[in-house]
């Protein structure tokens, strides 16, 4: 009988030892954005960049010996759906999340995470609604206000005296802030705004009536605070009816969809970009090659933003030693600056990027530095 107890004890010890030698639990990271519908290119590109980098990290052994697991949820561009998804992830124990992507989700994200030990890191949300707030949201894109001033200075250099504006109310936290900073910069210089139009679009908002209103106002330029497909469509309609005004676009529009769907109509359009196109670092060149090999398309700025955001998060996780939101947040903020694959990011005390915008022009069907 004693021998049986000894054997049972030995068997139990073996089981415990073997269980202790199993794979460590993964660090689960959420990814929330719009991955379906007409405005999904940015979300899909971010997802691709994040997944590419996550897989590279896992092949190298993970973070502090633990693999990373990505949990992806599509908010379909809907604020209620975004709120539901974020709450569900948090309740499921996923408290470090990449996203959301669009600025219209800023208020929802703030409400859901307020007072909780949760960390959101958005690659592309730039609204000034979040600026200067000690919240649970960090970002790797500079503020919308900077885009408006930047484009306004370019418009002055181009000699613009009158500018029409079209902006999308579905992304109001981004577009309205940008339009206002653009206008506030230009009006003291005598620039007028004969037409300011808004859309709150369905999947089939007609652009021809808007184009005719703009054409009849005869402005020198048009500022389009629109998603890429809408900016491409409006440009097409304006050129078809004979409009020759200068087009200005925001970083939201600066994707491959703009060129693919805008064609010759968007040629010479000036847009805000998050990187220079004439300077390719070795790291960016490797990323481009890896991205094309995997996804069979060239990466847009959003894919780079996704890759860089995940790189920043991985650095924070490694530095923090334990993957709890508050500790990771402090680790990221302690960096003060971070070098992505395309440019340097300087972080302020609230986790906002202080600068990082450039101007590009569509020339010969590609983006080139202005």
pLDDT in tens, 84-131: 999 999 999 999 999 999 988 999 999 999 999 999 999 998 888 888
Is 49 inside a domain boundary? yes
In SS3 terms, the chain reads as: CHHHHHHHHHHHHHHHHHHHCCCCCCEEEEEEECCCCCCCHHHHHHHHHHHHHHHHHHHCCCECCECEEEEEEECCCCHHHHHHHHHHHHHCCCCEEECCCCHHHHHHHHHHHCCCCCEEEECCCCCHHHCCCCCCEEECCECHHHHHHHHHHHHHHCCCCEEEEEEEHHHHHHHHHHHHHHHHHHHHHCCECCCEEEECCCCCCCCHHHHHHHHHHCCCEEEEECCHHHHHHHHHHHHHCCCCCEEEECHHHCCHHHHHHHHHHHCCCEEEECCCCCCCCHHHHHHHHHHHHHHCCCCCHHHHHHHHHHHHHHHHHHHHCCCCHHHHHHHHHCCCEEECCCCEEEECCCCCECCCCEEEEEECCEEEEC
Residues 295 and 242 in one domain: no
pTM score, whole prediction = 0.82
Is 263 inside a domain boundary? yes
Work out how many domains the chain is built from and give that number. Answer: 2
Residues 70 and 82 in one domain: yes
CATH number at residue 269: 3.40.50.2300
* pLDDT of 11: 46
Low-confidence spans in the chain with pLDDT less than 50? 1-20
Is 111 inside a domain boundary? yes
Is 238 inside a domain boundary? yes
* pLDDT of 204: 62
Q: Which domain holds residue 240?
A: 145-273
* pLDDT of 202: 55
Residues 303 and 324 in one domain: yes
* pLDDT of 75: 96
Residues 111 and 130 in one domain: yes
Residues 178 and 232 in one domain: yes
Residues 65 and 133 in one domain: yes
């Amino acid at each position: 009988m004693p021998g049986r107890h000894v054997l049972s004890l030995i068997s139990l010890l073996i089981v415990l030892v073997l269980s202790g030698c199993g794979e460590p639990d993964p660090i689960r990271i959420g990814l929330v954005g719009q991955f379906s519908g007409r405005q999904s290119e940015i979300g899909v590109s971010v997802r691709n960049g994040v997944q590419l980098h996550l897989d590279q990290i896992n092949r190298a052994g993970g973070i502090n010996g633990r693999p990373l697991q990505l949990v992806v949820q599509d908010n379909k561009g809907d604020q209620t759906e975004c709120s539901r998804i974020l709450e569900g992830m948090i309740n499921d124990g996923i408290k470090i999340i990449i996203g959301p992507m669009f600025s219209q989700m800023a208020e929802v994200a703030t409400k859901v995470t307020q007072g909780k030990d949760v960390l959101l890191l958005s690659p592309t949300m730039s609204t000034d609604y979040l600026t200067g707030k000690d919240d649970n949201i960090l970002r790797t894109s500079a503020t919308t206000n900077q885009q408006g001033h930047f484009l306004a200075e370019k418009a002055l250099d181009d000699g613009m005296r009158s500018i029409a504006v079209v902006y999308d109310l579905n992304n109001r936290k981004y577009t309205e802030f940008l339009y206002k900073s653009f206008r506030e910069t230009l009006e003291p210089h005598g620039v007028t705004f004969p037409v300011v139009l808004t859309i709150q679009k369905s999947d089939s908002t007609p652009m021809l009536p808007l184009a005719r209103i703009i054409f009849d106002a005869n402005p020198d330029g048009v500022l389009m605070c629109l998603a890429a497909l809408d900016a491409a469509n409006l440009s097409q309609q304006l050129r078809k009816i004979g409009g020759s005004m200068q087009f200005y676009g925001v970083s939201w529009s600066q994707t491959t969809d703009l060129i693919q769907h805008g064609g010759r109509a968007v040629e010479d359009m000036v847009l805000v970009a998050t990187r220079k196109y004439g300077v390719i670092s070795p790291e960016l060149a490797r990323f481009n090659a890896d991205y094309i090999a995997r996804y069979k398309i060239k990466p847009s700025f959003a894919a780079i933003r996704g890759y860089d955001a995940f790189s920043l998060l991985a650095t924070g996780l490694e530095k923090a030693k334990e993957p709890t939101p508050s500790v990771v947040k402090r680790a990221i903020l302690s960096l003060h600056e971070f070098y992505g694959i395309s440019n340097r990011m300087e972080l302020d005390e609230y986790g906002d990027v202080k600068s990082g915008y450039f101007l590009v022009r569509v020339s010969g069907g590609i983006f080139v530095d202005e």
